[in-house]
Amino acid sequence: MDFRRSALRSRGAIGKATVAAIAVLVIAGAIALSAALGPTSHPSGSRVAKFASTIVVARAIEANGSLVTNVTYTLGQELLLSITVPDTTNPVSVHQVFSNRAYGELAWNVTTTHYTYVIDSGPADPADLGVNHAYAVVTFADGTTARSNNVTMTVTN
């Protein structure tokens, strides 16, 4: 009988320890997720969405129409960047950053373009030769902004 009571106490202690460990992990995970996903204040006073790559997706458009994150263009080919946001958002503008150079803000009219905007940077010219990294920054109606993932565009002769 003492053996059974001792075994039951051990199982109870192990069960309580397991539940406590799981609770700690769940709480820590929830705190980490909240910190990662929640908007944060920007020094300018606007709100900036974190983890924008999960909100804004950028892809280069190959000559055959395929959407890719790594593309090779030749001189004269159109440099096309497709930017997509979830249909639960309300984008109002977008701008592209190409080789660390920010380009002008473009109005995003969801009625016209829906939730995918294509930026046509024109034909690749000699200034674009080499490896270029591009991404987009989208501004939403609520004032938040989100940055896309990087796209590599290599321009060759």
Residues 12 and 80 in one domain: no
What are the tens digits of pLDDT across the range 106-131? Answer: 999 999 999 999 999 999 999 999 99
Residues 66 and 104 in one domain: yes
Residues 136 and 71 in one domain: yes
Residues 110 and 61 in one domain: yes
What are the tens digits of pLDDT across the range 26-54? Answer: 444 444 444 444 444 344 444 444 444 45
Residues 55 and 24 in one domain: no
Copy the structure tokens of residue 35.
């910190």
Please count the structural domains in the chain: 2
User: Given this model, what pLDDT does residue 8 score?
Assistant: 46
Q: Identify whether 133 is part of a domain.
A: yes
- Structural domain harbouring 32: 2-37
User: For the domain that residue 138 is a member of, what is the CATH number?
Assistant: 2.60.40.10
What are the tens digits of pLDDT across the range 85-108? Answer: 999 999 999 999 999 999 999 999
Residues 143 and 108 in one domain: yes
Asked if residue 25 has pLDDT above 70, the reply is no
Could you tell me what percent of the chain has a pLDDT over 70? 66
Question: Contact, 88 vs 46, CB < 8 A?
Answer: no
Rounded alpha-carbon distances, angstroms, from residue 81 to 32, 84, 85: 32, 10, 13
Distance CA 68, CA 62 (A): 7
Asked if residue 68 has pLDDT above 80, the reply is yes
Residues 24 and 69 in one domain: no
Between 79 and 44, the more confident residue is 79
Q: Identify whether 110 is part of a domain.
A: yes
Q: What is the DSSP string of the chain?
A: -HHHHHHHHHHHHHHHHHHHHHHHHHHHHHHHHHHHHS-EE-TTS-EE-S-GGGT-EEEEE-TTS-EESEEEEETTSEEEEEEE--TTS-EEEEEEEETTEE---EE--HHHHTTEEEEEEEE--GGG-EEEEEEEEEEETTS-EEE---EEEEEE-
Residues 78 and 33 in one domain: no
Residues 11 and 87 in one domain: no
Residues 109 and 85 in one domain: yes
Q: Identify whether 76 is part of a domain.
A: yes
Residues 13 and 58 in one domain: no
Rounded alpha-carbon distances, angstroms, from residue 51 to 32, 36, 59, 149: 13, 7, 17, 10
Asked if residue 11 has pLDDT above 80, the reply is no
Asked if residue 13 has pLDDT above 80, the reply is no
Q: Identify whether 116 is part of a domain.
A: yes
